[in-house]
Amino acid sequence: MRSLCGVLVLFVAALTAGLWLVPSAPADNQINANVGKKIANIPFTDVDGKTTHLYDLKGKKAIVLVFLSSDCPVSKSYSQPLAEMADDLKARGVAFVGLTTNHDETPLEVVKFAAEFKLPFPVVLDRNFAATDAVAAKVTPEAFVLDGDFVLRYRGRIDDAYFARLKRHQQVSEYNLRQALEELVSGRPVSVPATEAIGCSIGRDIKASVDLANVTYYKDVLPILQKNCQECHRPGEVGPFSLMTYRQAVNWATDIKDYTRSRQMPPWSADPQYGPYLNDRSLRQSDIDTIVQWADHGALEGDAKDAPPPVQ
Protein backbone atom coordinates (compact mmCIF):
# COMPACT_ATOMS: atom_id res chain seq x y z
CA MET A 1 0.00 0.00 0.00
CA ARG A 2 2.86 2.33 0.86
CA SER A 3 4.41 1.72 -2.60
CA LEU A 4 1.10 2.39 -4.34
CA CYS A 5 0.66 5.62 -2.40
CA GLY A 6 4.16 6.64 -3.40
CA VAL A 7 3.40 6.06 -7.08
CA LEU A 8 0.19 8.08 -6.81
CA VAL A 9 2.03 10.95 -5.13
CA LEU A 10 4.62 11.01 -7.91
CA PHE A 11 1.86 10.83 -10.55
CA VAL A 12 0.01 13.84 -9.07
CA ALA A 13 3.23 15.77 -8.63
CA ALA A 14 4.21 15.16 -12.24
CA LEU A 15 0.85 16.30 -13.53
CA THR A 16 0.97 19.39 -11.34
CA ALA A 17 4.42 20.29 -12.54
CA GLY A 18 3.56 19.56 -16.17
CA LEU A 19 6.30 16.94 -16.33
CA TRP A 20 4.29 13.81 -17.14
CA LEU A 21 6.03 11.95 -19.93
CA VAL A 22 3.52 12.23 -22.75
CA PRO A 23 4.91 11.75 -26.29
CA SER A 24 5.23 15.16 -27.91
CA ALA A 25 5.47 16.26 -31.51
CA PRO A 26 9.04 16.71 -32.73
CA ALA A 27 10.33 20.27 -32.79
CA ASP A 28 10.98 19.99 -36.52
CA ASN A 29 7.56 19.46 -38.07
CA GLN A 30 8.88 19.25 -41.65
CA ILE A 31 7.84 15.61 -41.85
CA ASN A 32 4.22 16.85 -41.98
CA ALA A 33 4.87 19.95 -44.10
CA ASN A 34 1.87 20.96 -46.27
CA VAL A 35 -0.16 17.83 -45.43
CA GLY A 36 -3.84 18.79 -45.74
CA LYS A 37 -3.09 21.82 -47.90
CA LYS A 38 -3.97 22.39 -51.55
CA ILE A 39 -0.88 22.45 -53.74
CA ALA A 40 -0.50 25.26 -56.27
CA ASN A 41 -0.67 24.69 -60.02
CA ILE A 42 2.95 23.61 -60.40
CA PRO A 43 4.53 23.93 -63.87
CA PHE A 44 6.29 20.86 -65.29
CA THR A 45 8.86 20.92 -68.09
CA ASP A 46 9.19 17.71 -70.08
CA VAL A 47 12.36 16.51 -71.78
CA ASP A 48 11.30 18.25 -75.02
CA GLY A 49 11.01 21.61 -73.26
CA LYS A 50 7.20 21.64 -73.30
CA THR A 51 5.50 23.07 -70.21
CA THR A 52 2.45 21.45 -68.65
CA HIS A 53 0.85 22.03 -65.26
CA LEU A 54 -0.30 20.00 -62.27
CA TYR A 55 -3.93 20.99 -62.77
CA ASP A 56 -3.86 19.41 -66.24
CA LEU A 57 -4.35 16.15 -64.30
CA LYS A 58 -7.80 17.21 -63.11
CA GLY A 59 -10.25 14.31 -62.89
CA LYS A 60 -7.81 11.82 -61.35
CA LYS A 61 -8.66 10.17 -58.04
CA ALA A 62 -5.09 10.52 -56.90
CA ILE A 63 -1.84 11.99 -58.20
CA VAL A 64 1.59 10.81 -57.11
CA LEU A 65 4.52 13.19 -57.43
CA VAL A 66 7.70 11.23 -56.83
CA PHE A 67 11.15 12.81 -56.83
CA LEU A 68 13.77 10.64 -58.52
CA SER A 69 17.46 10.71 -59.35
CA SER A 70 19.51 8.50 -61.62
CA ASP A 71 22.54 9.32 -59.44
CA CYS A 72 21.00 8.01 -56.24
CA PRO A 73 21.15 4.22 -55.73
CA VAL A 74 18.25 4.36 -53.24
CA SER A 75 16.11 6.12 -55.83
CA LYS A 76 17.11 3.70 -58.58
CA SER A 77 16.24 0.72 -56.39
CA TYR A 78 12.61 1.89 -56.30
CA SER A 79 12.22 2.27 -60.07
CA GLN A 80 10.73 -1.19 -60.62
CA PRO A 81 8.32 -1.06 -57.63
CA LEU A 82 7.11 2.38 -58.75
CA ALA A 83 6.64 1.17 -62.34
CA GLU A 84 4.62 -1.83 -61.13
CA MET A 85 2.52 0.32 -58.79
CA ALA A 86 1.76 2.85 -61.51
CA ASP A 87 0.65 0.06 -63.87
CA ASP A 88 -1.51 -1.57 -61.19
CA LEU A 89 -3.32 1.62 -60.19
CA LYS A 90 -3.68 3.36 -63.55
CA ALA A 91 -7.12 1.83 -64.18
CA ARG A 92 -8.27 3.08 -60.77
CA GLY A 93 -7.64 6.72 -61.64
CA VAL A 94 -4.15 7.17 -60.19
CA ALA A 95 -1.58 9.19 -62.14
CA PHE A 96 2.16 9.16 -61.43
CA VAL A 97 4.61 11.94 -62.31
CA GLY A 98 8.34 11.54 -61.77
CA LEU A 99 10.43 14.66 -61.15
CA THR A 100 14.15 15.23 -61.29
CA THR A 101 15.90 18.28 -59.88
CA ASN A 102 19.41 17.24 -60.85
CA HIS A 103 20.97 19.95 -63.01
CA ASP A 104 23.69 17.52 -64.11
CA GLU A 105 21.15 15.31 -65.89
CA THR A 106 20.52 16.27 -69.50
CA PRO A 107 17.08 15.64 -71.01
CA LEU A 108 18.63 12.75 -72.97
CA GLU A 109 19.88 11.16 -69.75
CA VAL A 110 16.43 11.51 -68.20
CA VAL A 111 14.90 9.76 -71.22
CA LYS A 112 17.51 7.00 -70.97
CA PHE A 113 16.83 6.55 -67.25
CA ALA A 114 13.06 6.29 -67.76
CA ALA A 115 13.54 3.83 -70.63
CA GLU A 116 16.05 1.68 -68.75
CA PHE A 117 13.59 1.05 -65.92
CA LYS A 118 10.51 1.02 -68.19
CA LEU A 119 8.78 3.74 -66.20
CA PRO A 120 5.17 3.96 -67.46
CA PHE A 121 4.78 7.57 -66.36
CA PRO A 122 6.35 10.87 -67.46
CA VAL A 123 9.56 12.06 -65.81
CA VAL A 124 9.72 15.86 -65.92
CA LEU A 125 12.37 18.41 -65.02
CA ASP A 126 12.08 20.61 -61.94
CA ARG A 127 14.95 22.87 -62.86
CA ASN A 128 13.85 25.90 -60.80
CA PHE A 129 12.65 23.87 -57.80
CA ALA A 130 9.03 24.97 -58.30
CA ALA A 131 7.64 21.54 -57.44
CA THR A 132 10.30 20.92 -54.80
CA ASP A 133 9.36 24.12 -52.99
CA ALA A 134 5.61 23.61 -53.41
CA VAL A 135 5.64 20.32 -51.49
CA ALA A 136 8.83 20.92 -49.45
CA ALA A 137 10.59 17.86 -50.90
CA LYS A 138 13.91 17.00 -49.27
CA VAL A 139 15.26 13.75 -50.72
CA THR A 140 15.08 11.31 -53.60
CA PRO A 141 13.08 9.16 -53.64
CA GLU A 142 10.24 10.94 -51.86
CA ALA A 143 6.55 10.54 -52.76
CA PHE A 144 3.67 12.99 -52.46
CA VAL A 145 0.06 11.89 -52.88
CA LEU A 146 -2.58 14.46 -53.85
CA ASP A 147 -6.31 13.83 -53.94
CA GLY A 148 -8.62 14.85 -56.80
CA ASP A 149 -8.72 18.41 -55.45
CA PHE A 150 -4.91 18.61 -55.37
CA VAL A 151 -4.78 18.51 -51.58
CA LEU A 152 -1.69 16.78 -50.18
CA ARG A 153 -2.81 13.63 -48.34
CA TYR A 154 0.45 11.73 -47.94
CA ARG A 155 4.16 12.51 -48.06
CA GLY A 156 7.21 10.40 -47.34
CA ARG A 157 8.79 7.05 -48.11
CA ILE A 158 7.58 4.45 -50.57
CA ASP A 159 8.03 1.64 -48.04
CA ASP A 160 10.25 0.79 -45.08
CA ALA A 161 12.88 -1.14 -47.04
CA TYR A 162 15.62 1.22 -45.78
CA PHE A 163 16.38 2.22 -42.20
CA ALA A 164 19.27 4.45 -43.34
CA ARG A 165 20.74 5.45 -46.64
CA LEU A 166 22.13 2.32 -48.36
CA LYS A 167 21.15 0.22 -45.31
CA ARG A 168 18.21 -2.11 -45.86
CA HIS A 169 15.97 -4.09 -43.58
CA GLN A 170 15.93 -7.82 -44.28
CA GLN A 171 12.32 -7.56 -45.42
CA VAL A 172 9.71 -4.89 -46.11
CA SER A 173 6.89 -4.71 -43.56
CA GLU A 174 5.20 -1.39 -44.39
CA TYR A 175 4.14 -0.40 -47.91
CA ASN A 176 3.32 3.20 -47.05
CA LEU A 177 2.73 4.67 -50.50
CA ARG A 178 0.58 1.75 -51.66
CA GLN A 179 -1.46 1.88 -48.45
CA ALA A 180 -2.09 5.62 -48.78
CA LEU A 181 -3.24 5.20 -52.38
CA GLU A 182 -5.50 2.24 -51.59
CA GLU A 183 -7.16 4.23 -48.81
CA LEU A 184 -7.55 7.34 -50.93
CA VAL A 185 -9.08 5.71 -54.02
CA SER A 186 -11.43 3.73 -51.74
CA GLY A 187 -12.78 6.94 -50.23
CA ARG A 188 -11.17 6.38 -46.83
CA PRO A 189 -8.97 8.86 -44.94
CA VAL A 190 -5.24 8.23 -45.17
CA SER A 191 -4.34 6.61 -41.87
CA VAL A 192 -0.63 7.50 -41.93
CA PRO A 193 -0.32 10.86 -43.72
CA ALA A 194 3.44 11.36 -43.26
CA THR A 195 6.57 9.26 -42.93
CA GLU A 196 10.25 10.13 -43.13
CA ALA A 197 11.77 9.45 -46.54
CA ILE A 198 15.29 8.04 -46.71
CA GLY A 199 17.48 8.69 -49.71
CA CYS A 200 19.73 11.31 -51.27
CA SER A 201 19.37 14.98 -50.40
CA ILE A 202 18.01 17.29 -53.07
CA GLY A 203 20.95 19.61 -53.65
CA ARG A 204 20.70 23.37 -53.86
CA ASP A 205 23.14 25.94 -55.13
CA ILE A 206 25.07 27.26 -52.13
CA LYS A 207 26.31 30.84 -52.12
CA ALA A 208 29.81 31.24 -50.76
CA SER A 209 30.49 33.65 -47.94
CA VAL A 210 33.85 35.36 -47.66
CA ASP A 211 34.95 33.53 -44.50
CA LEU A 212 34.05 30.07 -45.82
CA ALA A 213 35.28 30.37 -49.39
CA ASN A 214 38.77 29.09 -48.56
CA VAL A 215 37.77 25.40 -48.98
CA THR A 216 35.87 24.60 -52.17
CA TYR A 217 35.01 21.59 -54.28
CA TYR A 218 36.96 22.51 -57.41
CA LYS A 219 40.11 23.75 -55.69
CA ASP A 220 40.43 21.43 -52.70
CA VAL A 221 38.06 18.45 -52.75
CA LEU A 222 38.00 17.39 -56.41
CA PRO A 223 41.75 16.59 -56.48
CA ILE A 224 41.24 14.27 -53.48
CA LEU A 225 38.26 12.55 -55.11
CA GLN A 226 40.15 12.14 -58.39
CA LYS A 227 43.11 10.53 -56.69
CA ASN A 228 41.28 8.33 -54.19
CA CYS A 229 37.62 7.81 -55.17
CA GLN A 230 36.77 8.19 -58.84
CA GLU A 231 38.49 4.96 -59.84
CA CYS A 232 35.47 3.13 -58.38
CA HIS A 233 32.87 5.91 -58.03
CA ARG A 234 32.14 6.50 -61.69
CA PRO A 235 29.65 5.12 -64.23
CA GLY A 236 30.12 1.42 -64.90
CA GLU A 237 32.37 0.74 -61.91
CA VAL A 238 31.75 -0.90 -58.55
CA GLY A 239 31.01 2.23 -56.51
CA PRO A 240 27.25 2.46 -55.77
CA PHE A 241 27.15 6.08 -56.94
CA SER A 242 29.30 8.42 -59.01
CA LEU A 243 31.51 11.22 -57.70
CA MET A 244 32.41 12.79 -61.03
CA THR A 245 30.63 16.15 -60.66
CA TYR A 246 30.04 18.77 -58.00
CA ARG A 247 26.33 17.97 -57.85
CA GLN A 248 27.07 14.30 -57.20
CA ALA A 249 29.66 15.12 -54.54
CA VAL A 250 27.48 17.63 -52.68
CA ASN A 251 24.62 15.12 -52.58
CA TRP A 252 26.92 12.72 -50.72
CA ALA A 253 28.97 15.28 -48.77
CA THR A 254 27.98 14.02 -45.31
CA ASP A 255 28.62 10.40 -46.27
CA ILE A 256 31.99 11.26 -47.81
CA LYS A 257 32.95 13.01 -44.58
CA ASP A 258 31.75 10.19 -42.32
CA TYR A 259 33.25 7.32 -44.31
CA THR A 260 36.63 8.98 -44.84
CA ARG A 261 36.89 10.21 -41.25
CA SER A 262 36.20 6.68 -39.97
CA ARG A 263 38.66 5.38 -42.60
CA GLN A 264 36.11 2.98 -44.04
CA MET A 265 36.83 4.65 -47.39
CA PRO A 266 38.87 4.37 -49.45
CA PRO A 267 39.13 0.66 -48.60
CA TRP A 268 42.50 -0.14 -47.06
CA SER A 269 42.63 -2.77 -44.31
CA ALA A 270 46.37 -3.28 -43.96
CA ASP A 271 47.58 -3.06 -40.35
CA PRO A 272 49.46 0.27 -39.96
CA GLN A 273 51.87 -1.17 -37.36
CA TYR A 274 53.56 -3.18 -40.14
CA GLY A 275 53.77 -0.28 -42.56
CA PRO A 276 54.60 1.85 -44.37
CA TYR A 277 53.40 0.09 -47.51
CA LEU A 278 53.96 0.60 -51.19
CA ASN A 279 50.84 1.85 -53.01
CA ASP A 280 49.13 2.75 -49.72
CA ARG A 281 45.50 3.65 -50.62
CA SER A 282 44.60 5.24 -47.29
CA LEU A 283 43.89 8.97 -47.10
CA ARG A 284 46.30 11.40 -45.52
CA GLN A 285 44.93 13.06 -42.40
CA SER A 286 45.26 16.46 -44.10
CA ASP A 287 42.95 15.27 -46.90
CA ILE A 288 40.39 14.02 -44.37
CA ASP A 289 40.54 17.36 -42.55
CA THR A 290 39.91 19.17 -45.86
CA ILE A 291 36.86 17.02 -46.60
CA VAL A 292 35.47 17.56 -43.09
CA GLN A 293 35.92 21.32 -43.32
CA TRP A 294 34.26 21.38 -46.75
CA ALA A 295 31.28 19.26 -45.70
CA ASP A 296 30.76 21.09 -42.40
CA HIS A 297 30.91 24.58 -43.90
CA GLY A 298 28.44 24.53 -46.76
CA ALA A 299 30.07 22.13 -49.26
CA LEU A 300 30.90 25.09 -51.48
CA GLU A 301 31.40 24.70 -55.22
CA GLY A 302 34.00 27.39 -55.86
CA ASP A 303 35.31 28.45 -59.25
CA ALA A 304 35.40 25.80 -62.00
CA LYS A 305 38.60 27.45 -63.25
CA ASP A 306 40.35 26.00 -60.18
CA ALA A 307 39.50 22.41 -61.20
CA PRO A 308 42.34 20.05 -62.12
CA PRO A 309 42.18 18.34 -65.54
CA PRO A 310 39.87 15.31 -65.66
CA VAL A 311 41.55 12.00 -64.92
CA GLN A 312 41.57 9.47 -67.73
Backbone dihedral region for residue 269 (phi beyond 0: left; psi -120 to 50: alpha; all else: beta): alpha
- Specify the pLDDT at position 27: 37
pTM: 0.72
pLDDT at position 188 over 50? yes
pLDDT in tens, 92-136: 999 999 999 877 778 888 999 999 999 999 999 998 899 999 999
> Confidence class of residue 17 from pLDDT cuts 50, 70 and 90?
very low
Q: How far apart are CA 215 and CA 68, in angstroms?
A: 30
Read off the pLDDT of each residue in 282-297 and give the average, rounded to a whole number.
90
- Specify the pLDDT at position 24: 33
- Structural domains in the chain plus CATH codes: 29-201 (3.40.30.10), 210-306 (no CATH)
CA 98 to chain CA centroid, Å, is 14
- Specify the pLDDT at position 91: 95
Q: How far apart are CA 127 and CA 103, in angstroms?
A: 7
| 42, 131 contact by CB (below 8 A) | yes
pLDDT at position 211 over 70? no
Burial of 167: CB neighbours in 10 Å, binned 0-12, 13-18, 19+: exposed
Residue 154 sits at φ, ψ, to 5 deg, of: -150, 145
- Specify the pLDDT at position 29: 53
pLDDT at position 297 over 90? no
> Confidence class of residue 3 from pLDDT cuts 50, 70 and 90?
very low
Q: How far is CA 80 from CA 47, 52, 84, 188, 268, in A?
A: 21, 25, 6, 27, 35
Q: How far apart are CA 294 and CA 220, in angstroms?
A: 9
Residue 251 sits at φ, ψ, to 5 deg, of: -65, -30
pLDDT at position 265 over 60? yes
- Specify the pLDDT at position 276: 82
- Specify the pLDDT at position 141: 96
Rg (CA), the chain: 24
Which helix H or strand E contains 152, and what residues bound it?
strand 152-156
Read off the pLDDT of each residue in 246-268 and give the average, rounded to a whole number.
88
Read off the pLDDT of each residue in 191-207 and give the average, rounded to a whole number.
82
Residues contacting residue 34 through CB under 8 Å, at least 6 positions apart = 134, 135, 136, 152, 155
Which helix H or strand E contains 295, and what residues bound it?
helix 285-296
- Specify the pLDDT at position 16: 37
pLDDT in tens, 55-97: 999 999 999 999 999 888 899 999 999 999 999 999 999 999 9
pLDDT at position 144 over 90? yes
Q: How far apart are CA 281 and CA 104, in angstroms?
A: 29
Residues contacting residue 249 through CB under 8 Å, at least 6 positions apart = 217, 221, 222, 225, 243, 256, 299
Q: How far apart are CA 201 and CA 73, in angstroms?
A: 12
- Specify the pLDDT at position 72: 87
Taking CA 66 as the corner, what is the angle to CA 65 and CA 71, rounded to the nearest 5 degrees? 150
- Specify the pLDDT at position 9: 39
